[in-house]
Amino acid sequence: MRHVQGRARRACAALAAALTWAGLLAGCTPGGSGGLGLDGALGKRPSPEDVIRVTPDDGGKDVRPGERLRVRVPDGRLEKVSVVRSQDAQDTPVPGRISADGLTWQPDDGRLALAAKYTVDAVALDPHGRRSARHTTFTTYVPEERFIGYVTPENRSTVGTGMIVSLAFSRDIVNRAAVERAVRVTANPPVEIRPHWFGKNRLDFRPERYWKPGTEVTVGLGLRDVEGAPGVYGLQAKTFSFTVGRSQTSLVDAAQHMMEVRRDGRLLATVPITAGAPKSPTYNGKMVVMEMLEVTRMNSRTVGFGGEYDIPDVPHAMKLTDSGTFLHGNYWSPDSPGHVNVSHGCVGLMDVKGGGSDTPAGWFFDRSLIGDVVEVVNSKDKQVSPDNGLGGWNMAWNEWKAGSAVK
């Protein structure tokens, strides 16, 4: 009886094995009805490339910034996506999100950075619950030509209430709207600040009226990888800031040979001056102190006056225009301030050779800041051009706003 039972058990095992292989083979043949397959739990396992699609392609080079970064699955769902950007010897995670249906991941910022390597790691489930993982990399285009913006005023400086934020670009800008959008100027306390283009390589920002004392101004340059001209991309991703100091404005009356200096609206002093002679009058209008030099050389050849003068040690010089207008100390014509206009367009104050702290020029220099406004009236010259130095205050607000490239 035991012998018969043993044969019966062996027969049952053989039958079970035969049925199992039959099922496996059925699952592997065309038209099989979905039993367990030889290559996986539910048929042949698809490759990770079929389950998870990544663009740009794995191993791609010179990828342009306009191409889209996207991870997707044709069906199933994405579980996790991690993207890292390697640039300038730094690794930075790229923020993004998986869509509600789980089929797509896209970055929050759709624009690719230039001169960077991207690494993509993704995990997904196919419709049968099988997990796949994919690792890809690609590198982006390295431009041969770049541009930068030189910012006025200097970072962390304290300036006068008339300071205008000015960016001078190293290359002519064709895509002005794109560049303008990449520059953000904000103030605390808040005030409306608007941009104005002067030509192809200069962009200035100012509020409608002079800044309030104590205002903190921040300039954000998001120029990196912005295409300023065909094939020319920005390089900077930086933030600058400055503080507006006390209010000081000075009114130069060229006909009266006097200058009134006001601090926070109160008359601080009346100072004798000499302005431009009849053949070389001083510009009228509002000018902003751009630079302050204890001593500088002034040569008439540099401003188109031939060889009329060359003074190696002009004291207490404050630059007002790009064309060469200064407010400075005058020791070579001591009787002129307060009486007669003898300069070649500058505004001169009484001083001594080497510059004295107790002279009118020294007194004014010690109490001035870059960004202070000096306004000239009653001169026999034209009004200073808004793009000559920081002369934008001579432009009406509506006209200023019309100079934006973003409509």
CB within 8 Å of 106: residues ≥ 6 apart: 68, 69, 70, 71, 96, 97, 99
Longest dimension (CA), the chain: 143
Output the six-digit token pair for 405: 């490239």
Q: Which residue has the tokens 């100027």?
A: 185
Helices (H), 277-396: 360-366
Of the candidates 20, 110, 121, 22, the residue with the CA atom closest to the CA atom of residue 69: 110
Question: Is 28 marked active-site?
Answer: no
The helix/strand count (H/E) of the chain reads as 5, 29
Instruction: Return d(Cα 348, Cα 286) in angstroms, integer.
Output: 17
End-to-end CA distance of the chain: 101
Instruction: Return d(Cα 64, Cα 57) in angstroms, integer.
Output: 12
Paired strand residues for 374: 250, 287
Q: Which of 196, 316, 344, 346 is catalytic?
A: 346
Of the candidates 142, 164, 161, 140, the residue with the CA atom closest to the CA atom of residue 153: 164
Instruction: Return d(Cα 20, Cα 113) in angstroms, integer.
Output: 56
Q: Which of 257, 328, 339, 344 is catalytic?
A: 328
Kindly report the number of other CB atoms within 10 A of residue 164's CB atom.
22
Instruction: Return d(Cα 390, Cα 285) in angstroms, integer.
Output: 11
Instruction: Return d(Cα 163, Cα 146) in angstroms, integer.
Output: 28
Sheet strands side by side (includes 157-159): 157-159, 237-244, 216-222, 183-188
Q: Which residue has the tokens 């064709």?
A: 174
Question: Is 12 marked active-site?
Answer: no
Instruction: Return d(Cα 122, Cα 118) in angstroms, integer.
Output: 13
Catalytic annotation, residues: 328, 346
